[in-house]
Structure 1
Amino acid sequence: MELRDRVAGLMEQARAELAELVAIPSVADPRQYPPEECARAATWVLDAFATVGFTDARLAETADGSQAVVGSRPCGDPDAPTVLLYAHYDVQPPLNEQAWRTPPFELTEVNGRWYGRGSADCKGNIVMHLTALRALGDDVPVNLKLVVEGSEEQGTGGLEAFVPPNADLLRADAILVCDTGNASVGVPAATVSLRGMVNVVVSVEALASEVHSGMFGGAAPDALAALVAMLGTLRDREGNTTVTGLDNSGAWMGEPYPAEQFRSDAGVVEGAALLGDGSVSDMLWARSSVTILGIDCPPVVGSAAAISPRARARLNLRIPPGTAPEEAEKALHQHLLAAAPWGVHVTIDTEATGSPFHAATDGPAYGAMAAAMQEAYGRPMAKLGQGGSIPLCNVFAETYPDAELFLMGVEEPQALIHAPNESVDPSEIANMALVEALFLQRYATARG
């Protein structure tokens, strides 16, 4: 039986397994969900991979208290290449549960897609791995290693801290980082570029306390107005990010992202313009962008006729490959301080930074993967960037400088990862499982 038929025959089991996993609310934030849920998901992953040959799989404690599932599956040939399979079992919180059309922790089919938190990011990729390995059975001509982490969405760095001191445990010739996805359903892709990031909280203080806006407004400095003025300098009229000291003229050289497709994928309202003077691909993958994640200020309901003495905002600056996070952090701090009006007091606290990543694409793993995607999908592999950050990729690259990193997975724009109504197209699980199985077969000879 051909691999494609084997995968097709496994999709009923894949759906049942994904339903079990989605039903576990494995949000790695004990303030929101009990830590026992992540422990339950870790045990599920451990048991599932034991059934596909990872008989030594175990739970490894990481620095942030999360548990990673690690294991190996030798093929019996010490000269065969080694492939590391990666995914994560923790998920984002459901956010506004009223915005979900289906229960967030219950896998539900609607119009051919499977809905539920984690159905794509990243439990769908766990099921993809399992389906690929079941389709191959005993015919896996490479050595396999496995790591499935439990705190990726929280960004607390458990696995990043675990890898360097345990380098031999996960050492491989090729690393499949399965936490991204395709250009669209049916369009296979490799993610070759990731933006880094700088997260800061900027606080403004102008008065000792609230004062009456009628008695003091017009002369007393307004902290909220000062903050708004500062934030307004971060973009120009076209929407380009304008942090002083950051070059923002980059151009994306890979697969384009059609503007109309982006409008649909992002849900841009009728009449609203896309931002920036570059293409969509330029703005997403080759240039910096700043986002205001949140503002602390009086809410409209319950607000009084008073001048705000203090206000603060949380900012997320994404940076493309070629920009160092420490340089971007310094530039953002200096820009905000220089933009502050009226002598208000400003403090800036950096929450987190992460480096951009760019993958090499000229090795045997990329050749084998391109051929596998062509065979599975019947069309060439596209090369994409991703605006999000995966700091683990830089840790892998630094720890294993000779390894090829390949970013792939079942996610695509319609999946709405991190948002209400996350879903996965089951055809992507099937096709990407076939891709992985074909790759493991091809890579054994491609590397030689």
Structure 2
Amino acid sequence: MSSDLSRPASVREAAASGIPSALADLGGLVRIPSIAWPAFDQSQVLRSAEAVAALAEETGVFDRVSVTTAAIPGTAERGQPAVLATRAAKNGRPTVLLYAHHDVQPTGDDALWETPPFEPTVRDGRLYGRGAADDKAGVMAHIAAIRALKEALGDDFDLGLALFIEGEEEYGSRSFAQFLADNADALRSDVIVVADSGNWDADTPALTVSLRGNARFTLTVRTLDHASHSGMFGGAVPDAMLATVKLLATLWDDDGAVAVDGMTARDAATPDYDEATLRDEAGLPDGVRPIGTGSILGRIWNKPSITITGIDATSVAAASNTLAPSITVVISARVAPGQAAGEVYAAIKTHLEAHAPFGAQLEFADVDLGDGFLVDTTGWAVQTARDALGEGYGVSAVDVGVGGSIPFIADLVREFPAAQILVTGVEDPHTRAHSPNESLHIDTFRHAVISEALLLEKLDARSV
């Protein structure tokens, strides 16, 4: 059967046909170890930004593409390189800001990876590699959707575009607020699409409508001026590990729920989600019980949590019969949507000071706070996004909360209060973002690209 080669492809057709190229470009980005933490090679973050800028330039739709940085407030440093590309709206069309980030988490223990973390590998319908999902797939979803829009509509579509690909999201977005202030005119938009979240499952798209906030800090517990022999003084002198264990245990009740006065929960209904699904998606073995009370998704979406994410103590290999003088831990709290992160940090600090055993001395440092987010679902862009997701996936989109945090969204709301914010993503529950063997479900990526291309087409047809 012959085809009319002169007929322009539809946006859907263009997006679908562009998936192989998008995946190849994604593989190229995954090969760049763009870890923004200072212990790693920072030249790779610049290399990653330049690669993303080249992809944006190659679309041919932007008036300006640059790699730029912003100052980190309160320091003499500048943040990591970000990509900013802009195209002015025409004929009364809206402008959409497309956000993702090109930096990635450290790999952790490389021995736990089944394939090298920076060698993209396809296995069983998934693309494995650090950043394959979080969030270089978000970067490529934006690029691929723009390519499809141009192929279908030509160079002269009227939609305004601002592409902002951050370079330090995994390291706390330290210069994010300043970057927004420095580039406010270029970034000002009617709709903001943040491609850094997940979906209900590999087949069902989701629009994230609530996010928990975060309060992270370092705690040092000190009980001695110097280390002492555990045989000579043990039983009379409290070592720092004993004090730390007893102190940290007060943060939770017997169900594992947070037991800190002043940390609140949000009262909101959640969809059905059973324990078997939790075990499958989280890797919870038989015999290990879930923690907390109430509905499972309510615990994850609407209640606070506290996790000890790091500890400095004598290693097992170096253990000796010694009373440790100090122990340092990192405490990471998730904050229920609607409560200020500063309130939660103050509540935890007060709790720890009140419960310090044996008169242990406490030191607090490296405080990092980020507020949660609740989407106003009454705006026209939310329904437009739901329609595009439904068409792109062939399944109606669901509204979800997310237990994780995207603190910079509060900065976006503050800087651009009139913009409608849509939080989407390419991840599914088996992505294992931040963990060994992170992966992208390729069919989910294909549907996400098609959906975003359809969203851009719908926005290009709308006047503001």
Whether the 8 Å contact between 1:181 and 1:189 is mirrored in structure 2 is yes
User: C-alpha separation between the residues in 2 aligned to 1:302 and 1:350?
Assistant: 27
Of the structure 1 ranges 341-350 and 331-340, higher mean CA displacement relative to structure 2 is found in 341-350
Aligned to 2:458: 442
Give the whole-Å Cα distance in 2 for the aligned partners of 1:201 and 1:38.
26
* One-letter amino acid of the structure 2 residue matched with residue 91 of structure 1: V
Q: What are structure 1's unaligned runs of at least 5 residues?
A: none
- Residues 431 and 438, structure 2, Cα contact 8 Å, conserved in 1: yes
Task: Verify the 8 A CA contact 2:15 2:453 in the aligned structure 1.
Answer: no
Distance in structure 2 (CA, Å) of the matches to 1:278 and 1:342:
35
Out of 113, 119, 142, the residue aligned to residue 100 of structure 1 is 113
1 CA distance for matches of 2:129 and 2:214?
28
Q: d(CA) in 2 for partners of 1:222 and 1:362?
A: 56
Amino acid of the residue matched to residue 285 of structure 1? Answer: W
Q: Quick one: distance in 2 between partners of 1:253 and 1:55?
A: 45
Structure 2: distance between partners of 1:421 and 1:391: 25
- In 1, Cα distance between equivalents of 2:207 and 2:273: 14
TM-aligned CA deviation for residue 156 of structure 1 = 4.2
> What's the offset of the Cα at 1:256?
4.3
Distance 2:348 2:443 in 1: 43
The residue aligned with 2:81 is 67
AA aligned to 1:301 is A
Alpha-carbon separation, structure 2, partners of 1:193 and 1:87? 18
SS in 2 for 1:333: helix
- The 1:424/1:353 distance shift into structure 2, 3 A limit, reads same
Amino acid of the structure 1 residue aligned with 2:296? V
Aligned length: 445
Q: Trace 1:160-309 onto structure 2 (pairs within 5 A).
A: 160-248=177-265, 250-309=266-325
How far has the Cα of 1:259 moved from its partner?
2.7
Query: Partners in 2 of 1:308 and 1:162 — Cα distance?
Result: 43
Q: Structure 1 pair 328/106, CA: closer, same or farther in 2 (3 Å)?
A: same
1:145-156 correspondence runs (5 A): 145-156=162-173
CA distance in 2, matches of 1:121, 1:255: 25
1:5 paired with 2:18, answer no
Q: Does 1:320 find its partner at 2:312?
A: no
Which of 119, 129, 144 does residue 116 from structure 1 map onto? 129
* 1:4 partner amino acid: R
The CA distance in 2 between the partners of 1:86 and 1:211, in whole Å, is: 53
> The residue matched to 1:72 in structure 2 has which SS?
strand
Task: Report the more deviating stretch, 256-265 or 395-404.
Answer: 256-265
Between 274-283 and 346-355, the greater mean CA deviation after superposition: 346-355
Classify 1:446/1:284 alpha carbon distance in 2 versus 1 (closer, same or farther; 3 Å). farther
Determine whether 1:129 maps to 2:142. yes
1:380 match: secondary structure: coil
Q: Does 1:45 align with 2:52?
A: yes
Aligned residue for 2:29? 21
Report the CA distance between 1:443 and its aligned residue. 2.8
Correspondences of 1:291-370 after superposition (within 5 Å): 291-370=307-386
Q: Deviations over 1:358-407 (max 9, x none)?
A: 11111111010111111122222111112222222111101111110011
After superposition, what is the alpha-carbon deviation per residue over 1:87-136, rounded to whole angstroms, capped at 9, x for unaligned?
11111121111111111111111111111111111111111112112222
| SS of residue paired to 1:369 | helix
Segment drifting more, 42-51 vs 151-160: 151-160
Q: Report the secondary structure of 1:332's partner residue.
A: helix
Q: Specify the code of the residue in structure 2 equivalent to 1:117.
A: R
Give me the TM-score of the superposition, normalised by structure 2.
0.92
Question: What is the alpha-carbon root mean square deviation over aligned residues?
Answer: 1.7
Work out the CA distance in 1 between the residues paired with 2:285 and 2:444: 28
- Cα 1:314–1:172 change in 2 (3 A) is same
Corresponding position of 1:377: 393
Go from structure 1 to structure 2 and tell me whether the alpha carbon gap of 1:32 and 1:364 turns closer, same or farther (over 3 Å shift). Answer: same
1:404 alignment partner in structure 2: 420
Q: Residue 56 of structure 1 aligns to which amino acid in structure 2?
A: R
Q: What is the alpha-carbon distance in structure 2 between the residues aligned to residue 259 and residue 381 of structure 1?
A: 23
Q: Describe the SS at the equivalent of 1:360.
A: coil
User: The residue matched to 2:170 in structure 1 has which SS?
Assistant: coil
Q: Which amino acid aligns with 2:193?
A: L
Deviation per CA, 1:187-235, whole angstroms, max 9, x where unpaired?
1001111111111222222122222222222221222111101100111
Q: Distance in 2 between matches of 1:346 and 1:32?
A: 30
CA distance in structure 1 between the partners assigned to 2:398 and 2:286 by the alignment: 29
Q: TM-score, normalised by structure 1?
A: 0.95
Partner amino acid, structure 2, of 1:67: P
Deviation at 1:308, TM superposition (A): 2.0
Deviates more, 1:302-311 or 1:417-426: 302-311
One-letter amino acid of the counterpart of residue 216, structure 2: N
Alignment CA distance shift 1:257-1:445 (3 Å): farther
Q: 1:390 aligns with which of 406, 429, 434?
A: 406
Alpha-carbon distance in structure 2 between the residues aligned to 1:255 and 1:133: 33
